């Protein structure tokens, strides 16, 4: 003993209809970065939530420095020096960075907060570890990357020595990811122990010392990262070989399906021009990718095309029809399918059953209703067909409450619904965000199958690998303008990065005109 700072022994946790953790043992050494790898639904987050005191295990025990400990809630975890950065940040938007960091452990004298004291400690910590933050900025105004640094500072401020990172890179840009991995290495050197939940093999290979792989709630094994390969890890995780290369045949684009002309969107809140004079076409049988760092106008363009928000000016033409002023339903009927960016906010009614969500775009069609009454047997049959065809997994089949499904399967449900519906144009916004390799491979195949079926696909993505692998044409967007049109076959990730960060730009209008001539 003594070698391990935390031991989770034979942990079992059962949820309705699913064994989330089945006799899992995880041992964390002091000063190591230990990766926890697994597909969505493999039980990674559950295991970490148990360590953090959010759930109680049904059986098994947790030891710290060899002594059995009982962790009933996050406060207990904190007392034991365990801190966690959640996948979805737990920050108060209308508080400043400093206020968020000290929240819950405010230094005070007779009930008055001693902010200066706190500020000193925060500034010291942020300088020591290179975590750049502005203590007086409001959380709602800072970037996602900085919000994450705030979460990390929260752990450091509480003197935690065991740091859990739950999929920390899912929301970051490539540059920010590199920075974060460096910071994690620094922590390990300091003697802090890190649990790093991820399904991104590259990152694990880069920073982790050891890696424990989970699959379907079971522990597959723990390996030394330097003795293994990406391929082996992915085989352990998925249970089969995964091809990292996307299989894509040559295809000649057909007619123009979507044509966006001189689109402008002016922000209602601060009057800034979020989309500036954007024009582009998407043709049948091609995947056009709108690449860019988050928040450069992609969302506004997608909302204008799908009808969620009205553009300030410009024209949108779908298959020859001007749909600029059409309702969302009309656009859907005319052939737009939309895999939304936020599956919980827009894509699903989480409190509805899976079958009810699968007909969300079609419930009003004759197939599913008769004189205003829903035909429940048709809905059930249709849901069973989609569940089967798209391999959507859930505890109770069509009647599963969607909220209880794993993120990957929720996304599969949306994709099944949008692909199975009649469409000419598929808009997919960050369709693989937060998903594991198996699910990503699956979704990429589906997108390519749409292209091969002669549909137009507009992909919005922040993942450079995805952009390079999937698309036939890349439009780079920076501060609301299209600054470059690239061919993934001839460009490099580095060049793409330069365009995305605004360091390089072409006059795209000229390119377009040139091509048409």
Partner 1 sequence: MEGKNNIYNDNKFNIRNMMNKGILSSFFSALVAVFLGLIIGFFVMLIALPANALIGFRHIIVGGLNRIGDVFYYATPILMTGLSVGFANKMGLFNIGASGQYTMGMYFALYVAFMWDLPDSIHWIVACLAGFVGGMIWGAIPGIFKAFLNVNEVITSIMFNYIGMYLVDMLIQGNSAMYVSDKTRTQYIPAEVQMPSLGIPNSNVNLGIILAILIGILLYIVLQKTIFGYELKATGFNRFASEYAGMKGKRNIIITMAIAGGLSGLGGAFGILAPSGIAGSSMTYEPINIIAPAGFNGIAVALLGNSHPIGIIFSAIFISYIQRGGTLASLAGYKPEIIDIVIAVIIYFSAFANIMNTAILGFIVRHFGKGRKSGNTLANDDIKEAE
Q: What's the DSSP call for residue 345? A: I
Among 137, 308, 317, 464, binds partner 1 (CB under 8 A): 308
State which residue, 187 or 442, has the beta carbon closest to partner 1.
442
Q: In this complex, which beta carbon is closest to partner 1, that of residue 40 or of residue 432?
A: 40
Stretch that binds partner 1, among 154-162, 244-252, 267-275, 391-399 (CB under 8 A): 391-399
Residue closer to partner 1, measured from CB, 44 or 192: 44
Q: Are 26 and 85 in contact (CB under 8 A)?
A: no
Alpha carbons within 13 A on the beta-carbon side of 210: 15
360 binds partner 1 (CB under 8 A): yes
Bridge partners of 258, per DSSP, are: 282, 318
Contact window for partner 1 (CB under 8 A) among 136-144, 226-234, 357-365, 468-476: 357-365
Binding mask 392-411 for partner 1 (x = CB under 8 A): -xxxxx---x-xx-xx----
Residue numbers 328-347 binding partner 1 by CB under 8 A: 328-332, 338, 340, 345-347
Residue 310, interface with partner 1 (CB under 8 A)?
no
10 Å Cβ neighbour count for 36?
Answer: 28
Q: Which of residues 183-242 bind partner 1 (CB under 8 A)?
A: 216
- One of 349, 453, 493, 511 touching partner 1 (CB under 8 A): 349
Nearer to partner 1 (CB atom), residue 418 or residue 472: 418
Identify which range of 27-35, 36-44, 263-271, 502-510 contacts partner 1 by CB under 8 A: 36-44
Distance (Å) of CA 108 to CA 76, 99, 118, 341: 22, 13, 10, 42
Question: How far, in whole angstroms, is CA 271 from its chain's centroid?
Answer: 29
Taking the least distance from each CB to partner 1, the nearer of 89 and 352 is 352
C-alpha to C-alpha distances, 184 to 131, 191, 393, 410, nearest whole angstrom: 11, 11, 34, 31
The answer to the question of residue 378 lying near partner 1 (CB under 8 A) is no
In eight-state DSSP terms, residue 58 is S
DSSP-derived secondary structure letter, 396? S
On whether the CB atoms of residues 302 and 341 are closer than 8 A, the answer is: yes
Residue 18 binds to partner 1 (criterion: CB under 8 A): yes
Applying CB under 8 A, among 78, 100, 296, 361 the residue interacting with partner 1 is 361
- Cα–Cα distance, 305 to 285 (Å, whole number): 19
Q: Shortest Cβ distance from residue 393 to partner 1 (Å)?
A: 6
Phi, psi of 459 (to 5 degrees): -110, 130
Among 350, 464, 498, 501, which residue interacts with partner 1 (rule: CB under 8 A)? 350
CA distance 206 to 398: 41
In the three-class reduction of DSSP (H, G, I as helix; E, B as strand; rest coil), residue 261 is classed as strand
The span of 94-102, 109-117, 366-374, 472-480 binding partner 1 (CB under 8 A) equals 366-374
Please list every residue from 83 through 142 that binds partner 1, using CB under 8 A. Answer: none
When asked if residue 72 is in the footprint of partner 1 (CB under 8 A), the reply is no
Look at the alpha carbons of 362, 433, 82, 8 in this order and tell me if their dihedral is positive or negative: positive
Rounded Cα gap, residues 486 and 500, in angstroms: 12
Nearer to partner 1, 128 or 403 (CB): 403
H-run or E-run covering 513: helix 508-516
Q: How far is CA 457 from the centre of its chain?
A: 20
Using CB under 8 A as the criterion, which residues of the chain lie in contact with partner 1 when the complex forms? 13-20, 40-46, 49, 54-55, 58, 216, 306, 308, 327-332, 338, 340, 345-352, 356, 360-361, 363-364, 369, 372-374, 376, 391, 393-397, 401, 403-404, 406-407
């Amino acid at each position: 003993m003594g070698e391990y700072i935390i031991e989770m022994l034979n942990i079992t946790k059962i949820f309705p209809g699913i064994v989330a953790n089945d006799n899992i043992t995880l041992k964390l050494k002091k000063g190591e970065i230990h990766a926890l790898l697994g597909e969505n639904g493999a039980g990674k987050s559950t295991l970490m939530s148990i360590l953090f005191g959010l759930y109680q295990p049904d059986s098994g025990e947790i030891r710290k420095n060899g002594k059995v400990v009982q962790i009933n809630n996050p406060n207990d975890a904190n007392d034991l020096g365990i801190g966690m950065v959640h996948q979805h940040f737990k920050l108060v938007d209308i508080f400043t960075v400093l206020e968020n960091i000290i929240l819950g452990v405010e230094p005070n004298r007779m009930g008055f907060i001693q902010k200066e004291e706190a500020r000193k400690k925060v500034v010291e910590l942020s300088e020591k570890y290179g975590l750049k933050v502005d203590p007086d900025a409001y959380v709602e105004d800072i970037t996602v990357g900085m919000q994450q640094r705030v979460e990390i500072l929260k752990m450091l401020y509480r003197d935690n020595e065991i740091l859990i990172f739950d999929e920390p890179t899912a929301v970051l840009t490539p540059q920010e990811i590199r920075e974060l991995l460096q910071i994690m290495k620094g922590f390990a050197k300091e003697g802090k122990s890190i649990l790093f939940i991820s399904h991104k093999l590259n990152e694990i290979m880069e920073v982790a010392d050891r890696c424990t792989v989970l699959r379907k709630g079971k522990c597959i094994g723990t390996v030394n990262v330097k003795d293994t390969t990406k391929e082996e890890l992915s085989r352990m995780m998925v249970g089969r070989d995964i091809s990292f290369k996307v299989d894509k045949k040559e295809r000649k684009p057909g007619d123009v399906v979507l044509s966006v002309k001189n689109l402008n969107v002016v922000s209602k809140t601060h009057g800034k021009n979020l989309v500036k004079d954007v024009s582009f076409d998407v043709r049948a049988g091609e995947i056009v990718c709108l690449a860019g760092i988050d928040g450069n106008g992609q969302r506004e363009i997608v909302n204008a095309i799908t009808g969620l928000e009205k553009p300030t000016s410009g024209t949108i033409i779908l298959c020859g029809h001007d749909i600029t002023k059409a309702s969302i339903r009309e656009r859907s009927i005319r052939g737009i399918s939309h895999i939304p960016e936020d599956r919980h906010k827009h894509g699903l009614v989480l409190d509805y059953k899976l079958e009810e969500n699968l007909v969300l775009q079609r419930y009003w069609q004759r197939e599913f209703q008769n004189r205003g009454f829903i035909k429940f047997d048709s809905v059930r049959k249709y849901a069973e067909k989609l569940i089967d065809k798209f391999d959507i997994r859930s505890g109770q089949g069509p009647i599963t409450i969607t909220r209880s499904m794993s993120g990957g399967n929720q996304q599969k449900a949306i994709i099944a619904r949008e692909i199975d519906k009649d469409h000419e144009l598929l808009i997919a916004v960050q369709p693989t965000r937060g998903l594991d390799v198996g699910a990503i491979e699956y979704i990429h195949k589906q997108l390519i199958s749409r292209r091969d079926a002669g549909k137009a696909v507009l992909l919005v993505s922040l993942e450079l690998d995805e952009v390079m692998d999937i698309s036939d044409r890349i439009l780079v967007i920076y501060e609301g303008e299209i600054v470059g049109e690239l061919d993934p076959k001839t460009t490099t990730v580095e060049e793409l990065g330069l365009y995305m960060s605004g360091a390089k730009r072409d006059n795209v209008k000229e390119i377009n005109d040139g091509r048409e001539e």
